[in-house]
Amino acid sequence: MAAMVSIRVNGVEMSVAADVSVAAALLNAGHTMFRRSVTGAARGPVCGMGTCFECRVTIDGEPGRRSCLEPVREGMRVTIDA
Amino acid sequence: MAVIGGGPAGIAAAAVAAGLGRSVVLLDASPRPGGQIWRHRDRGTLPVGARDWLGRLEASDATVLSGANVVDVAPGFRLGADVQGRAVTVAAGAVVLATGAQELFLPFPGWTLPGVVGVGGAQALLKAGMDVRGKRVAIAGTGPLLLPVAAALARAGADLRMVAEQAPPREVRRFAASLWRTPARLVQAALYRSAFATVRYRWGTWVKRVSERDGALLVTWTTGRSTWAEPADLLCTAAGLVPCTELARLLGCELSGEAVVVDHEQQTSVPGLYAAGEPTGNTGMEAALIEGAIAGFAAAGQGAGARALWPSRARHRDFSRRASEAFRLRPELRARAEPDTIVCRCEDVTLASIAPGWSVREAKLATRAGMGSCQGRVCGPALRHLLGTSADTVRVPVVPTPLGVLAGLTAQRDDSRGAS
Amino acid sequence: MTSRPDAIIVGAGIVGAACAYYLSRGGLRVTVFDEGFAGGGTTAAGMGHIVVMDDSEAQFALTSWSQRLLDDLLPAMPRAAEYERCGTLWVAEDDEQLDAARGKRTYYRDRGVETELLDARQLGEAEPQLRPGLAGGLRVPADGVVYPPAVTRWLLDQAIHLGATVREGVAVEGVAPRAVLTGAGRLEADCIINAAGAGAPRLTPGLPIVPRKGHLVITDRAPGFSRHQVIELGYLRSAHTMSAASVAFNVQPRITGQLLVGSSRELVGWDASLNRDVLGRMLERACSFMPGLAALPALRTWTGFRPATPDKLPLIGAWPSVDGLWIAAGHEGLGITTALGTGSMLTDLILGRPPAIDPAPYAADRVMAEAH
Ligand SMILES: Cc1cc2nc3c(=O)[nH]c(=O)nc-3n(C[C@H](O)[C@H](O)[C@H](O)COP(=O)(O)OP(=O)(O)OC[C@H]3O[C@@H](n4cnc5c(N)ncnc54)[C@H](O)[C@@H]3O)c2cc1C
Ligand SMILES: Cc1cc2nc3c(=O)[nH]c(=O)nc-3n(C[C@H](O)[C@H](O)[C@H](O)COP(=O)(O)OP(=O)(O)OC[C@H]3O[C@@H](n4cnc5c(N)ncnc54)[C@H](O)[C@@H]3O)c2cc1C
Ligand code: FES
């Protein structure tokens, strides 16, 4: 069993594998939409490598972080669009 | 010497130059070195060759900065990096650009739906821990990259439904036949194929459109003659790779098409600036290793070491050329976007709002296309393929950077200048 | 070439576009040339702050009158013009600057411009992202922002509707009495208007205009971060030093929720390259006033060239040494604001009508006359 960490996504606590990216953790938790586009359409990760900026979320209060490049950390607070 | 990018090309350049006694710093945006192909969480899962190179890099005296986005290179090779929210500057005598490639995404109706990801994108997400067990997955793309991605998804437990190669069967067959020149690649391809042996693998097939139905994707496939729809949870689709040349363009390197022009020693048109791997248009891990090593030798002033590698580089260039001919994009892929299809995903700009004759700057000022976070990384190459639009000017920061970090980068420059 | 127009305008920046609009409305047949594309010069690089300024009586007259003209046109403008009456908030760092704000308030009140003096607490309420400890500020509610390339396009479209011709991608190589020379041939007209912005002296040697470089940075969307165009009162000092490079805190909320962060001023000729020292100082100054800016992703930086004159006023009027030549250039950092007043005034002068405000302070040959 891999080590786990706990993160909060929109206030909801969840336990995720310690060695995954924030994007992978969100997808595995069933979130396919990470953000709303400027016209309000649902968007999720595309490139997985930092190019497309579709996976942007707010991490510990900092907006615009690319979740595919960001490893999860214990206690991390992630905010995605509703 | 500074190496930008920690894929095979960057690792080879850094390890070789450090081995020759150069003071080397490698900056890579990813959490750990490896680049696209050797992206990993557990090194034990990597092939031996990859582990060897990562070991060589570690054993060398090269300094590795991971999570380091190089966002500026000022004249005189003064690099500015955002290292996990810290402003770090590096002054180098020579620079190797080993920034790799990104996928080419050509717009089609439905391409912006969540669940539609890249081919390499799916692989990258998988390597970062995405769970695909039991998910209905379809792949539509082109070129040698399809096979390893299909194999990886199948091994990870995906319910793989379809692997579609856009190139016509005639071209794929001819390319496969030419692989006898590089038997290792033939074996590799066969191994990949065996990993998803029961899955449909169709040539001359591509995605026409995608919609949403019952909380899943409905993918409309076509061969040009017949068209049908199938459901999927994840559609992995792209139209091949394009070199990442933002830093090269910022520094004013000469480009040929989308690739950076280099000489025998991997040096660009800017003296002291080298490029290796995908940015030069020479695709694949083996080519990246060789070009990286040549750049490492050359930047360290060891021309002889570099020369010994020229013949094998030539073989890989030949392979790249054959691959790009065989997997040329069919015109139908460009014709899929409809007037109301979004082309710029950051700003939600539709195809119809962009006049075909516009320069990229005109399109941008009139529609905001390319003004968003990705700064035209996705819509730029797409518009180039759809409308022939030229590439936009690259500006600092090369990737969006917290304003405070950008301020710190330029302010630190003040200090270093004062000190020198 | 096509039939003879009444007026030829060189330059389709916002100033040339405003001239085209008012001249067309005045019944003239206009042809506009631009070597690039409409609104692609300094107009594309500017901030788009519509601001009433009190540097001099003449500057106040032109800025406030232009603002009234804009108010008249706004209902007809498309959404793309991105107009928003966000107001200007002038920030005083200390009591000395607050005194200056009081002076500004009196000046504006005497001339019918509404303002609101804010103490330290009210300032914090108006712009919560400002750092604590500032002395106060002055709010000018009627100021606003636009998206300059879209306004330019709209003005030209109206002119085209009234019969004007706009020729983009055609450079004017020379200006002769009542004629211009282009790569596509010679074209005659009763009046020629040089509205080539910072490039105007290339066609009319002797025009006292130099390019004054500025840097700007655009951030990712951060809706609600700031509500006003927020500028330090020290900006005026920066805008006035003509010699050394200077920076000032100047932040503008775009309708998209993005923030445009400025500003800098340098005299370095036509060198468009990024000056990292200036950029760093500019951003540090911005972050010192609004610490929260530091976390916002910066998407892009760029530079632009303000067409600067020695006395900070634009050149609007006849250029006596060339028959039929008129000038509408040299708007420095205020051309987005003052384009409409310029176009309207120039049209009145050309048609022999009395302009709404006294044109004398802007006379194109004033500086030349002084030099003699
Ligand atoms: C998503 C994707 C998946 C791929 N999968 C495969 C595969 O399975 N098999 C295969 O044979 N080939 C694959 N390829 C092709 C692969 O790119 C090459 O085979 C090989 O990895 C090229 O090595 P490289 O060193 O040139 O570039 P890369 O391996 O791409 O390495 C480039 C590195 O540079 C970093 N970088 C880029 N810009 C900056 C910057 N400004 N600052 C700091 N760091 C930066 C990147 O984060 C990355 O780590 C894939 C390509 C992509 C885009
Ligand atoms: C950083 C910055 C911030 C600014 N912020 C503001 C602000 O907030 N508010 C404000 O009011 N103002 C602002 N300004 C000032 C404003 O942008 C300018 O005053 C205004 O855009 C000038 O307009 P213009 O039409 O005279 O010049 P331009 O927009 O430069 O237009 C001149 C046109 O002439 C064309 N041209 C030149 N030579 C020739 C030729 N030989 N033949 C054919 N065409 C030619 C060019 O291609 C160009 O399109 C700012 C400027 C800068 C640089
Ligand atoms: S998925 Fe494209 S940037 Fe993260």
Q: Is A61 on the interface with C (CB under 8 A)?
A: yes
Same domain, C190 and C330: yes
pLDDT at position B419 is 27
Cα–chain center distance at B18: 25
Per the domain annotation, does C293 fall within a domain? Answer: yes
Structure token pair of residue A3:
């080590």
pLDDT at position B183 is 81
Cβ-proximal residues to A70 (8 Å cutoff; 6+ apart), any chain: A21, A22, A23, A59
φ and ψ of B208, to 5 deg: -95, -45
Burial B186-200 (b: 16+ CB within 10 A, else e): eebbeebeebbeebe
Q: How far apart are CA C299 and CA C99, in angstroms?
A: 37
Per the domain annotation, does C75 fall within a domain? Answer: no
What is the reported pTM? 0.94
Q: Is C256 on the interface with A (CB under 8 A)?
A: yes
Contact, B48 vs B38, CB < 8 A?
no
Closest-CA distance of chain A to residue B182, Å:
29
Please indicate whether, in this complex, the C-beta atoms of A64 and C220 are within 8 angstroms of each other.
yes
Nearest residue of C to residue A61, measured between CA atoms: C295
Per the domain annotation, does C270 fall within a domain? Answer: yes
One-letter amino acid for residue B262 of the chain:
V
pLDDT at position B282 is 86
User: pLDDT digit string (tens) for C295-329?
Assistant: 999 999 999 999 999 999 999 999 999 999 999 99
Q: How far apart are CA C342 and CA C344, in angstroms?
A: 5
Average pLDDT over residues C142-162: 97
Is residue A16 scored above 60 in pLDDT? yes
Q: Which residues are registered as beta bridge partners of A15? A: A6
Nearest residue of C to residue A62, measured between CA atoms: C295
The lowest-confidence range among B244-258, C21-35, C243-257 is C243-257
User: pLDDT digit string (tens) for C59-69?
Assistant: 999 999 999 99
Same domain, C175 and C273: no
Closest-CA distance of chain C to residue A47, Å:
19
The lowest-confidence range among A33-42, B86-95, C239-248 is C239-248
DSSP conformational letter for C187: E
Q: Is B115 on the interface with A (CB under 8 A)?
A: yes
Could you tell me if the ipTM is greater than 0.90? yes
Structure token pair of residue C96:
């000395």
> Radius of gyration of chain A from Cα atoms?
12
- In ligand 2, which atom is closest to the CA atom of C263? 1
Nearest residue of C to residue B405, measured between CA atoms: C294
φ and ψ of C117, to 5 deg: -85, 130
Please indicate whether, in this complex, the C-beta atoms of B125 and A24 are within 8 angstroms of each other.
yes
Burial A43-64 (b: 16+ CB within 10 A, else e): bbbbbbbbbbbbbbbbbeeebb
Class of domain B2-101+242-324: alpha beta
Q: Is B214 on the interface with A (CB under 8 A)?
A: no
Q: What is the mean pLDDT of chain C?
A: 95
Contact, B282 vs B318, CB < 8 A?
no
> Radius of gyration of chain C from Cα atoms?
20
Is residue B295 scored above 90 in pLDDT? yes
In the block, tokens 């805190």 appear at C249
Same domain, C234 and C255: yes
Same domain, C204 and C269: no
Q: How far apart are CA C173 and CA B365, in angstroms?
A: 26
Same domain, C251 and C165: no
Q: What is the mean pLDDT of chain A?
A: 95
CB atoms within 10 A of CB C208: 17
Closest CA to B369 of B383, B385, B388, B357: B383
Closest-CA distance of chain C to residue B410, Å:
5
The better pLDDT of the pair B359, C87 is held by C87
**Of A23, A33, A71, which is closest to B31 when you measure between CB atoms?**
A71
Please indicate whether, in this complex, the C-beta atoms of C280 and B409 are within 8 angstroms of each other.
yes
Going by pLDDT thresholds of 50, 70 and 90, the confidence category of residue B420 is: very low
Same domain, C35 and C118: no
Please indicate whether, in this complex, the C-beta atoms of C220 and B400 are within 8 angstroms of each other.
yes
Per the domain annotation, does C73 fall within a domain? Answer: no
pLDDT at position B417 is 32
Q: What is the mean pLDDT of chain B?
A: 93
Q: Which residues line ligand 3 (CB under 6 A)?
A: A 45-48, 50-55, 66, 68
Q: How many domains does chain C have?
A: 2
Give partners of B (≥3 CB pairs < 8 A).
A, C
Ligand nearest to the CA of C254: 2
Q: What percent of chain C has pLDDT over 90?
A: 93
Same domain, C133 and C217: yes
Please indicate whether, in this complex, the C-beta atoms of C220 and A38 are within 8 angstroms of each other.
no
- The H or E element that residue A59 is part of is strand A56-59
Q: From ligand 2's centre to the CA of C168, what distance in Å?
A: 15
Same domain, C151 and C201: yes
Per the domain annotation, does C1 fall within a domain? Answer: no
Q: How far apart are CA B308 and CA B304, in angstroms?
A: 7
| Cα–Cα separations (whole angstroms), residue B243 to B100, B118, B351, C351 | 6, 16, 24, 58
Closest-CA distance of chain B to residue A56, Å:
10
pLDDT at position C243 is 65
User: Strand B63-66 to strand B68-74: parallel, antiparallel, or no bridges (unpaired)?
Assistant: unpaired
pLDDT at position C255 is 92
For C279-324, where are the E strands, in sequence order?
A: 297-308, 315-318
Please indicate whether, in this complex, the C-beta atoms of A51 and B378 are within 8 angstroms of each other.
yes
Same domain, C195 and C279: no
pLDDT at position B26 is 98
Q: Which residues are registered as beta bridge partners of B65? A: B27
Per the domain annotation, does C151 fall within a domain? Answer: yes
Going by pLDDT thresholds of 50, 70 and 90, the confidence category of residue C238 is: low
Q: How far apart are CA B239 and CA A51, in angstroms?
A: 15
Preferred mutation among A21, A52, A73, A80 to probe B, highest tally of B CBs within 10 A: A52
C212 in ligand 2 pocket by Cβ < 6 Å? no
Closest CA to C95 of C139, C136, C131: C136
Contact, C46 vs C151, CB < 8 A?
no
Per the domain annotation, does C261 fall within a domain? Answer: yes
Helix (H, G, I), strand (E, B) or coil at C299: strand
User: pLDDT digit string (tens) for C198-213?
Assistant: 999 999 999 999 999 9
In the block, tokens 């990801």 appear at B117
Same domain, C151 and C119: no
B337 in ligand 1 pocket by Cβ < 6 Å? no
Closest-CA distance of chain C to residue A16, Å:
27
Q: Which residues are registered as beta bridge partners of A59? A: A62, A78
Per the domain annotation, does C110 fall within a domain? Answer: yes
The better pLDDT of the pair B266, B182 is held by B266
Question: What domains, with CATH codes, occur in chain A?
Answer: 4-79 (3.10.20.30)
Average pLDDT over residues B26-48: 92
**Of C40, C261, C299, which is closest to B400 when you measure between CB atoms?**
C299
B171 in ligand 1 pocket by Cβ < 6 Å? no
- In ligand 2, which atom is closest to the CA atom of C216? 1
Please indicate whether, in this complex, the C-beta atoms of B117 and A37 are within 8 angstroms of each other.
no
Per-residue HEC secondary structure of chain B comes to CEEECCCHHHHHHHHHHHHCCCCCEEEECCCCCCCCCCCCCCHHHCCHHHHHHHHHHHHCCCEEEECEEEEEEECCCEEEEEECCEEEEEECCCEEECCCEEECCCCCCCCCCCCEECHHHHHHHHHCCCCCCCCEEEEEECCCCHHHHHHHHHHCCCEEEEEEECCCHHHHHHHHHHHHHCHHHHHHHHHHHHHCCCCEEEECCEEEEEEEECCEEEEEEECCCCEEEEEECEEEECCCEEECCHHHHHCCCCEECCEECCCCCCECCCCCEEECCHHHCCCCHHHHHHHHHHHHHHHCCCHHHHHCCHHHHHHHHHHHHHHHHHCCCCHHHHCCCCCCCEEECCCCEEHHHCCCCCCHHHHHHHHCCCCCCCCCCCHHHHHHHHHCCCCCCCCCCCCCEEHHHHHHHHHHHHHHHHHC
Ligand nearest to the CA of C312: 2
Nearest residue of C to residue A66, measured between CA atoms: C297
Taking the domains of chain B in order of start, what are their residue ranges? Answer: 2-101+242-324, 105-239, 337-387
Q: How far apart are CA A55 and CA B296, in angstroms?
A: 35
- In ligand 2, which atom is closest to the CA atom of C264? 1
Residue pairs between chains A and B whose CB atoms are closer than 8 Å = 116
Domain that holds residue C21: 7-68+147-208+312-362
Please indicate whether, in this complex, the C-beta atoms of A48 and B399 are within 8 angstroms of each other.
no
User: pLDDT digit string (tens) for B201-215?
Assistant: 999 999 999 999 999
Q: Which residues of C fall within a CB distance of 8 Å from B362?
A: 37, 40
Nearest residue of A to residue B104, measured between CA atoms: A47
pLDDT at position C244 is 76
Closest CA to B25 of B83, B65, B80: B65
Residue B415 burial (10 A CB sphere; 0-12, 13-18, 19+): exposed
The number of residues making up chain A comes to 82
User: pLDDT digit string (tens) for B300-346?
Assistant: 999 899 999 999 999 999 988 999 999 999 999 999 999 999 999 99
User: Strand B101-103 to strand B216-222: parallel, antiparallel, or no bridges (unpaired)?
Assistant: unpaired
**Of A38, A52, A62, which is closest to B348 when you measure between CB atoms?**
A38
Q: Is C56 on the interface with A (CB under 8 A)?
A: no
Same domain, C129 and C215: yes
Going by pLDDT thresholds of 50, 70 and 90, the confidence category of residue C372 is: very low
B342 in ligand 1 pocket by Cβ < 6 Å? no
Same domain, C138 and C159: no
pLDDT at position C239 is 63
Q: Which residues of C fall within a CB distance of 8 Å from B79?
A: none
**Of A24, A46, A69, which is closest to B30 when you measure between CB atoms?**
A69
CATH of the domain at C39: 3.50.50.60
CATH of the domain at C261: 3.30.9.10
Instruction: State the Cα torsion C132-C137-C142-C147 to the nearest 10°.
Output: -50
Closest CA to B380 of B132, B36, B102, B90: B102
CATH number of B105-239: 3.50.50.60
Please indicate whether, in this complex, the C-beta atoms of A68 and B112 are within 8 angstroms of each other.
no
- Longest CA–CA separation in chain A, Å: 42
Domain limit, last residue, from C268, C285, C308 = C308
